[in-house]
Structure 1
Amino acid sequence: MRYGQGSRRISLPMQRVNGQWEFLYGGDVPLRDGAIADLVVNMDSIQDRDFLKLISQELSVEVLPLGAPLLVALSDRGYALQQAEPTGMPNIPLQYRPPGCTRFVTVHIGPKNKRQNDLFAEDEGGLWLRQIGLDRCELECSPIQMPEGFPKKVAQSPNHAFTMLSEQYEPHRLSHTGNAYTHFFYPETDGQWLPLSVLRDGVFKRAERSLIDQAWRQLEEKLGWCHLPPVPKKSIPKRGNRDSGDE
């Protein structure tokens, strides 16, 4: 699991002795109460099969539905931002905007393919968050519907869609591959567009993003065991007591 930012971490070799964990080279490990650690073991060392099944199960929740829009950031060496959207500049935080981006093209999430039909039987298509075991998280997206008038109507994945768009709008590039997690943006409920990497990585954090929070809460309900630490409340400094008479 991931527990957010902190001090440097260190690996400690441990051994199970008489029902307790001890330092491999002898003695207890002097840790503070409340210390959290990762325990990495071989799966065949877990004696309780029901427990093993519980912590290794795969679950998924739908994050975006069929037909949801996605923005693709491209660099076509234009002298000014060439908008595919008539509404103007998309609301993308500067830290997430790819360097040299001059164009945003809108694509849509299409119906699922045959393989996804087995994985997500209840949905017609969309973007899913898959939780595999305790700490492995993946995004799965059904095929992408390309913009109207594009030579090929459907791409099999976001990466495939990016390659085709890059070939169309970025002829100056020698390679037309790219990272879909940083070049594809999804709409948040507050009007911002954020990269798919935020969805993929943010499930392990109590980020103040509605789609991430909603997806994780659904996973928690299905898992029944994996609850992240609550978001720390922002402390508000107390106002000075003006009636104290102190100068």
Structure 2
Amino acid sequence: MHVPDVLAGKTVHIPVRIVKGRVTFFYSKRGTMPTLQDGAVGELVLPEYAVLDETAKHAITEERQVQLFDKGERIRLGFNGNLIDRDYLKRTEEWDDALPVVAGLTRLVSVLLDKPLFLLLRGTKKAQLRGGACEIPALDREKAGSLNHAYTLVSERFQPSRRSHTGNVFRVAFYREPDKEGKERWRRLADLRDRHEAEYEREALLGTDVVGPHSAPPQPMSPGRDQPRLQF
């Protein structure tokens, strides 16, 4: 679902039960939902078997894979320079004006793709990266199976004081894209993901009648099966 990242802050999970096609509050004897702010955006999380409308189920679960970059493309990974061991700082690149300002990121390490990088669009779920095996020149051309793997390898070597060596690669990875004037600019991989998700939403969700005209009637849920939840 391509909406502003409203679920990035503190959220509330509201257990619900579907009764005769209505969303009801699981812990209310009458099923009355708590009073909610008008215009609030959230996600109703259900087991797949609960969606009886096949047209809607296909639209919100369909997977499509798109190629982002070919072999040989240079991707830059951002790191907090304050955490990089002094012996390795010279192997990193300085942050420059061609990159956006991202809190906590001050140094860069480039990787070169050995295989194409793909984006797997997953209906209304967040897209995921596929492929993207690469080599890391700053680590004597060490091989990595993915951008996430590359980030971990660099962090383990360059930032030994960190407790965890994982990161959100969509936030810390940057790709090259010239601006309208043809000047070289580096943009977050998250921006490219959001663009493809928005295009998919316009084409497959907003541009069609997702809920079919002959939707199956609501069926009672079997006791003991997974209960849905509404996340805000």
TM-score by length of 2: 0.59
Whichever residue aligns with residue 134 of structure 1, its letter is T
Whichever residue aligns with residue 205 of structure 2, its letter is W
Displacement of 1:148: 8.6
Match in the other structure for 2:49: 44
- Structure 2 gap ranges (5+): 208-232
Q: Conserved in 2, the CA contact under 8 Å of 1:61 and 1:219?
A: no
2:186 pairs with 159, 184, 193, which one?
A: 193
Match in the other structure for 1:26: 30
Q: Conserved in 1, the CA contact under 8 Å of 2:135 and 2:141?
A: no
Distance in structure 2 (CA, Å) of the matches to 1:167 and 1:178: 9
Match in the other structure for 2:96: 90
1:131 pairs with 112, 121, 134, which one?
A: 121
Alignment of 1:1-247 (within 5 A): 1=1, 3-5=4-6, 9=12, 11=14, 13-17=16-20, 19-23=21-25, 24-26=28-30, 29=33, 36-73=41-78, 75-77=84-86, 82=90, 89-91=95-97, 92-98=99-105, 101=106, 103-111=107-115, 125-126=116-117, 128-147=118-137, 150=140, 152=142, 154-165=143-154, 170=158, 173=161, 177-179=165-167, 181=169, 183-190=172-179, 191-196=184-189, 199=190, 209=191, 211-212=192-193, 214-220=195-201, 224-226=204-206
- Considering only CA atoms, is the larger Rg found in Structure 1 or Structure 2? 1
Kindly report the root-mean-square deviation, in angstroms, between the aligned alpha carbons of the 2 structures: 4.1
Q: 1:53-101 CA distances to partner (integer Å, 9 max, x unpaired)?
A: 332121222233332211234524269x74766xx74333443443xx5
The structure whose RCO (Cα within 8 Å, separation 6+) is larger is 2
Q: 1:160-183 CA distances to partner (integer Å, 9 max, x unpaired)?
A: 334554566x38658894426255
TM-score by length of 1: 0.56
Distance in structure 2 (CA, Å) of the matches to 1:32 and 1:175: 39
Whichever residue aligns with residue 43 of structure 2, its letter is D
SS at match of 2:111: strand
Q: Conserved in 2, the CA contact under 8 Å of 1:69 and 1:108?
A: yes
- Structure 1 gap ranges (5+): 112-124, 200-208, 228-247
SS at match of 2:45: coil
Q: Conserved in 2, the CA contact under 8 Å of 1:187 and 1:193?
A: yes
How many equivalent residue pairs?
191
Displacement of 1:151: 5.2
